[in-house]
Amino acid sequence: MPNKDAVLDGLIDAVVSRVTVEPAGPWREWSRAFAVAIRRELLAHPALLPLVATRPVLAPGGLATVERMAAALRAEGFQALEALQLVNAVATFVIGHTLAEAGRTPGHDEPDIEGTMGGLDPGEYPVLAEALRAGLGTPEDHQERFDRALDALLDGLGPRRQAH
């Protein structure tokens, strides 16, 4: 019978191994597709977000996914450590963003965000009130914030050229 760690690792592996982006073409494009695929899987399994956020990928399926991405980055000119740093930075960003977007605090009631935010005094919080009217917190807003932040992250993660 497997122990608790094996079960938890298996749950993470089930999510990560479903990320089936094939690294082909420019690294930035498939790295972006990789991030989008991770987010899609996490949103499909929001109860696993706290687990994915706090445990490393250690099972074979997840490790194979990480290795596939890192090997493709090596082929694009990244050093081995840089490649793993990029995979980790993208995955960590996606996990954090998705946790903030869809995560729940285990054992606690869901806060009334809509009620609290909807009751803000526009005289005291004019920018927040304006942002709420413009769609803050909607699924479209979450998508736009994800896209903007992911693009900014990828823009800064190109391979470093080694000085000789």
Q: What are the φ/ψ torsions at residue 135 (nearest 5 degrees)?
A: 115, 15
Q: Give the HSE-up count for residue 53: Cα atoms under 13 Å, Cβ half-sphere.
A: 20
Burial 44-57 (b: 16+ CB within 10 A, else e): eeeebbeebeeeeb
> What is the domain class of 4-155 according to CATH?
mainly alpha
As a whole number of angstroms, the distance between CA 73 and CA 27 comes to 7
Q: Which of 60, 65, 41 is nearest to 51 (CA)?
A: 41
Structure tokens at 97: 């963003």
How long a stretch of residues is the chain?
164
Structure tokens at 163: 């000085």
pLDDT band at 163 (very low <50, low <70, confident <90, very high): very low
pLDDT digits (tens, 9 = 90+) for 107-137: 666 666 667 777 788 899 999 888 888 888 8
- CB count, 10 Å around CB of 58? 13
Q: What is the pLDDT of residue 132?
A: 87
Structure tokens at 100: 């903030």
Q: What is the pLDDT of residue 32?
A: 95
Q: For residue 84, is pLDDT > 90?
A: yes
Q: What are the φ/ψ torsions at residue 79 (nearest 5 degrees)?
A: -75, 160
pTM of the predicted model as reported, rounded to 2 decimal places: 0.83
